A and B are shown apart, each in its own frame.
Chain A
Amino acid sequence: MDEPIRRILGEHAHLQADVAELGDDSDLYQAGLTSHSSVSVMLALEDEFDVEFPQEMLRKKTFGSIHAIRDALAQLGAVVA
């Protein structure tokens, strides 16, 4: 599942860091993710994995790291690509 997550981050997160070099627990906001970019990432993840983030998950920390995104998708029953 990480590969599509990293691809989406590469396309939508506008990070200063190289996505390929990010660790699972690297802080994406520290790496340059802005709030608006996190919205773009959220919408792209929903399209990619055919899920909808519920209101309680629409928080900054849901998109704070690759690990956090993977956990959130797992909670939503997303199918590994």
Chain B
Amino acid sequence: MTTLEHAGAAPPTGVPAPAPTAEHGDPYRAFRDELFAAGLLVPTGVDGLYLRSEAFESIVRGIDAAVSKMAAVEAPTVYHFPLVVPAGLLERTDYVRSFPDLIGVLDSYAKGEAGYGDLLAAAEEGSWPQHLEHTGLGLCSAACHPLYPTLAGSEIPPAGRRFEIFGQVFRHEPSVDPARQQVFRQHEVVFVGAPADAAAHRDAWVERGLSLHRRLGLVVEAVVANDPFFGRGGRILAANQRAEALKIELVAPICSADQPTAITSANCHLDHFGTAFGLRLGDEVAHSACVGFGLERIALALLAAHGLEFSSWPASVRQELGW
């Protein structure tokens, strides 16, 4: 998921919408319990971090294939990105400023033999994390972010460039809502090029996303949304993003029909990444736009819509998933 106004910031795709956590209450916990009982997700003891069964993954693979089939007409360059990124990427994308409460960085032990005794003692009492130091690594916040540094300083051709990206992301927002996971996957289709073409990419993928989700039997609609920018200052960023309709979410019921969940998001970044990473289109700064399919959320929406027993799913849905 990603976005931005931008001036803004980019955010995420596939992600977020209503406020997190426990006040979500029973329908969220109840559906998660059903998923646990069916063995589709396996608890780890941490809200938002689950192991996934082969059955769950078979849904994800079907969605991935359906998205790739749609993306193929654009002949994109395809990348698979790891969860870990250089921590500096979080700064360059403005995520440190926009979503400090959602990001994460990695620590490791670097004090050598001299501090090892202290570490062992700390391990006994559970305070060992205090003996670790920042590694310069961070966790990816949106699947397309690692793309932009690879294009830095390069000249984008007039027709633009298109990318299909498979990536994992981390968002620190523990919740009993099974749709709000802390580590999840985004399947993105990204355009970098002229401003009008970037806007057209976003709009085209809103329609393609709606069409795909409807073929999968989901009740889905497109709504203007904003990213959960941090703090009071974030209200300025969110207001801008909404006023310019830069983020469109495709929402479908998962745990609540009244409060459907964003399962896919399509975002105009304007020149946010173009400026941050020096993406040039002739004498101009290139614009970018993306659509991000939230794979776990789409899978959960399918399970909520069609039931936990796959054999009863409509033939048309099974066919769309390539089953």
Query: Which of A's residues lie within 8 Å of B, judged by CB?
Result: 34-36, 38-40, 42-43, 53, 55, 58-60, 63
- Using CB atoms, name the residue of chain A closest to B231: A39
Q: Can you report 23 residue pairs joining A to B where beta carbons are below 8 Å apart?
A: A35-B5, A35-B7, A35-B9, A35-B237, A35-B240, A36-B9, A38-B236, A39-B234, A39-B236, A40-B233, A42-B236, A55-B232, A55-B235, A58-B232, A58-B233, A58-B235, A58-B236, A58-B239, A60-B236, A60-B239, A60-B240, A60-B243, A63-B236
Per DSSP, chain B at the interface is helix
A11 CB, min distance to chain B CBs, angstroms? 16
Q: Which residues of A contact B94 (CB under 8 A)?
A: 36
A8 CB, min distance to chain B CBs, angstroms? 14
Query: Which of B's residues lie within 8 Å of A, judged by CB?
Result: 5-9, 94, 97-98, 232-237, 239-240, 243
CA distance A75 to B7 in the complex (A): 27
CA distance A28 to B5 in the complex (A): 17
Contact A36 B98 (CB under 8 A): yes
B7 CB, min distance to chain A CBs, angstroms? 4
- Using CB atoms, name the residue of chain B closest to A43: B233
Contact A36 B7 (CB under 8 A): yes
- Most B CB within 10 A of own CB, among A35, A36, A58, A59: A35
Contact A39 B239 (CB under 8 A): no
CA distance A53 to B234 in the complex (A): 13
Q: Which residues of B contact A53 (CB under 8 A)?
A: 232
CA distance A59 to B243 in the complex (A): 10
B204 CB, min distance to chain A CBs, angstroms? 26
CA distance A42 to B8 in the complex (A): 16
A37 CB, min distance to chain B CBs, angstroms? 9
A59 CB, min distance to chain B CBs, angstroms? 5
Per DSSP, chain A at the interface is helix
Contact A35 B8 (CB under 8 A): yes
Q: Which residues of B contact A36 (CB under 8 A)?
A: 7-9, 94, 97-98, 237
Contact A59 B239 (CB under 8 A): yes
Q: Assuming A34-B6, A39-B234, what are 13 further A-B pairs, CB within 8 angstroms?
A: A35-B6, A35-B7, A35-B237, A35-B240, A36-B7, A36-B94, A36-B98, A39-B233, A42-B233, A55-B235, A58-B232, A59-B239, A60-B243
Q: Which residues of A contact B240 (CB under 8 A)?
A: 35, 60
CA distance A27 to B6 in the complex (A): 16
Q: Which residues of A contact B236 (CB under 8 A)?
A: 35, 38-39, 42, 58-60, 63
CA distance A55 to B7 in the complex (A): 20
CA distance A59 to B235 in the complex (A): 7
CA distance A60 to B241 in the complex (A): 11
Q: Which residues of B contact A39 (CB under 8 A)?
A: 97, 233-234, 236-237
CA distance A39 to B239 in the complex (A): 12
- Using CB atoms, name the residue of chain B closest to A39: B233
